[in-house]
């Protein structure tokens, strides 16, 4: 194994299985019964390059800048419809230019907060949505992106981080309904600027 970089790393039991016990029976954990946790893998150092980094795959966002875009302004675009979703709506907010979080210019960091508010409010207009969750992971692609996940109204089991797992497990939203939701979100965003884009989505009719 690579030399371990910190005391934290030296403490971890590589190759062993953690117990799922702390999660079992908690309100947000969607599994019960005998759950076997995968074995803890060794750290990979240096970390492999993400898409868009030197030595990594091409940035898919920059290779296809129009793909799945449902709304855009001069700085940002919102994408949706990459794959069938179990949640009422899933979207990604990205700067139109290739930046990481740590080198995002001041003119973009200044509008990031207002954009989060606008996207969350727009998604909440969908009648099946109770609240809009958002997350930045960023371990797959270097191009800065924020995920927005619509938590269905009243579905209190789906609060918290496991909402991403529920998205994979719930029955898929029909294409026409998802497209109608996307049009509603794009139109709501456009009320405060930018333009709705229809490309990449199935017809709502
Ligand atoms: Zn990019």
CB 44 within 8 A of CB 80: no
Report how far ligand 1's centroid is from the alpha carbon of 193 (Å).
Answer: 23
Instruction: Give the chain's mean pLDDT.
Output: 94
Q: Say if residue 199's pLDDT is above 60.
A: no
Cβ count near 168 (within 10 Å): 11
Report how far ligand 1's centroid is from the alpha carbon of 38 (Å).
Answer: 33
Report how far ligand 1's centroid is from the alpha carbon of 34 (Å).
Answer: 42
In tens, the pLDDT along 44-103 reads 999 999 999 999 999 999 999 999 999 999 999 999 998 999 999 999 999 999 999 999
Report how far ligand 1's centroid is from the alpha carbon of 185 (Å).
Answer: 24
Q: Say if residue 205's pLDDT is above 90.
A: no
What pLDDT does residue 50 have? 95
What pLDDT does residue 198 have? 75
Q: pTM above 0.75?
A: yes
Rounded to an integer, the average pLDDT of 152-164 is: 96
Q: Say if residue 113's pLDDT is above 80.
A: yes
Q: Say if residue 165's pLDDT is above 90.
A: yes
Report how far ligand 1's centroid is from the alpha carbon of 151 (Å).
Answer: 28
Report how far ligand 1's centroid is from the alpha carbon of 149 (Å).
Answer: 22
What pLDDT does residue 201 have? 56
Beta strands in 31-128, from DSSP E residues, in sequence order = 69-72, 76-80, 90-95
Report how far ligand 1's centroid is from the alpha carbon of 108 (Å).
Answer: 15
Query: pLDDT band for position 141 (50/70/90)?
Result: very high
Q: Say if residue 30's pLDDT is above 70.
A: yes
Report how far ligand 1's centroid is from the alpha carbon of 202 (Å).
Answer: 25
Query: pLDDT band for position 203 (50/70/90)?
Result: low
Categorise residue 82: left if φ over 0, alpha if ψ from -120 to 50, beta otherwise: alpha
**Domains of the chain, earliest start first:** 1-47 (no CATH), 60-196 (3.30.428.10)
Report how far ligand 1's centroid is from the alpha carbon of 97 (Å).
Answer: 7
């Amino acid at each position: 194994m690579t030399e371990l970089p910190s005391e934290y790393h030296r403490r971890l039991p590589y190759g062993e299985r953690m117990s799922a016990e702390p999660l079992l029976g908690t309100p947000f954990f969607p599994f019960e019964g005998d759950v076997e946790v995968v074995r803890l893998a060794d750290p990979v150092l240096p970390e492999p390059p993400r898409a868009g980094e030197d030595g990594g795959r091409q940035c898919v966002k920059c290779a296809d800048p129009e793909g799945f875009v449902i709304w855009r302004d001069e700085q940002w675009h919102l994408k949706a419809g990459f794959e069938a979703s179990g949640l009422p709506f899933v979207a990604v907010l990205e700067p139109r230019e290739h930046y990481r979080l740590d080198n995002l210019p001041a003119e973009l960091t200044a509008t990031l907060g207002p954009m989060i508010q606008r996207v969350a409010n727009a998604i909440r207009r969908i009648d099946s949505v109770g609240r809009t969750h958002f997350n930045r992971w960023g371990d797959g692609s270097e191009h800065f992106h924020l995920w927005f996940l619509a938590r269905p109204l009243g579905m209190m089991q789906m609060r918290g981080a496991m909402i991403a797992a529920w998205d994979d497990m719930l029955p898929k939203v029909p294409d026409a309904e998802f497209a109608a939701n996307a049009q509603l979100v794009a139109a709501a965003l456009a009320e405060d600027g930018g333009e709705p884009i229809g490309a990449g989505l199935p017809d709502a009719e």
